Amino acid sequence: MVQYRIKQKIDEGFLEKNTRIRNALYSNGIKTYDALFNKAKQERYNLYYIRNLGIDSIKRINEHVKEKFRKKLPNYEKNLHD
């Protein structure tokens, strides 16, 4: 199992522009990129299952991650649908 070592907090500028994403992530205890990537790579109960985090929000998160780290979320396609 791959562990991500990106302990830095999720960019506040991104979260301020996307309050729904911020609220959904914080209510699930996701405050760092490490926690975000680990949640995204889960086979069951990945980002798709976070309350108030829809497909458009997951796409926005993926775009942000691609800009910041030049890679997409783990299991990106699985996170978009069940």
Domain span holding position 45: 12-80
18 domain residue, yes or no: yes
6 domain residue, yes or no: no
pLDDT of amino acid 82: 56
50 domain residue, yes or no: yes
Read off the pLDDT of residues 52-80 as tens digits, 9 standing for 90 and up: 899 999 999 999 999 998 889 999 999 98
Domain count along the chain: 1
Read off the pLDDT of residues 11-66 as tens digits, 9 standing for 90 and up: 999 999 999 999 999 999 999 999 999 999 998 889 999 998 999 999 999 999 99
Element (H, E) at 69: helix 55-69
pLDDT of amino acid 1: 43
Q: Could you tell me which residues are beta bridge partners of residue 61?
A: none
Whose tokens are 């990537």? That residue is 37
40 domain residue, yes or no: yes
